[in-house]
């Protein structure tokens, strides 16, 4: 399976999904005009990945800021990973990174952690 690599834009995050390592990374800002359209490639990649994942899958989210539509897209990503986790095909860990003084981003990680039933590691950068 090929990796997914999306270079960052002014309003879009850097995304690197390494299939062989089971390492997924989203970092930067996520405020695209149309978040659902922007994240379509991510959804498609994940739909393929969950069919034959590696034993351990981790996703690192290190966003400075994201808008409301991106928050829904992140939840959709976490739900796909939750399905993978519940299937037993792969251990899944979310590494939610936030700046030390960014309580809003820390709370967003806490909120996601209560919504989806996968392990979260919420850590200061």
Radius of gyration from C-alpha coordinates of the chain: 13
Please write the tens of the pLDDT for every residue from 57-89.
999 999 999 999 999 999 999 999 999 999 999
Q: What is the dihedral of CA 29, 65, 18, 91, to 10 degrees?
A: -170
Predicted confidence band at 4 (pLDDT cuts at 50, 70, 90)? very high
In this predicted structure, what is the pLDDT of residue 115? 97
The structure tokens listed for 62 are 């290190």
Please write the tens of the pLDDT for every residue from 12-57.
999 999 999 999 999 999 999 999 999 999 999 999 999 999 999 9
Please write the tens of the pLDDT for every residue from 98-110.
999 999 999 999 9
Write down the pTM of the prediction.
0.95
In this predicted structure, what is the pLDDT of residue 34? 96
In this predicted structure, what is the pLDDT of residue 94? 98
How far is 101 from 43, CA to CA, in rounded Å?
31
Domains of the chain from N-terminus onward: 4-124 (3.30.750)
Taking 3-state DSSP, the helix, strand and coil percentages for the chain, each rounded to the nearest 5, stand at: 40, 30, 30
Q: Can you spell out the DSSP letters for 23-65?
A: EEEEEEEE--SSHHHHTHHHHHHHHHHTTS--SEEEEEEEEEE
């Amino acid at each position: 399976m090929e990796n997914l690599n999306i270079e960052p834009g002014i309003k879009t995050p850097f995304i690197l999904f390494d299939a062989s390592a089971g390492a997924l990374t989203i970092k930067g800002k996520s405020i695209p005009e149309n978040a659902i359209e922007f994240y379509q490639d991510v959804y498609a990649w994940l739909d393929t990945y969950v069919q034959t994942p590696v034993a351990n899958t981790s996703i690192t989210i290190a966003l400075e800021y994201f808008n409301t539509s991106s928050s829904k897209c992140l939840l959709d990503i976490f739900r796909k990973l939750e399905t993978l986790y519940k299937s037993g095909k792969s251990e899944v860990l979310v590494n939610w990174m936030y700046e030390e003084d960014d309580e809003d981003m820390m709370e967003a990680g806490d909120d996601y952690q209560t919504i989806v039933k996968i392990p979260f590691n919420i850590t200061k950068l």
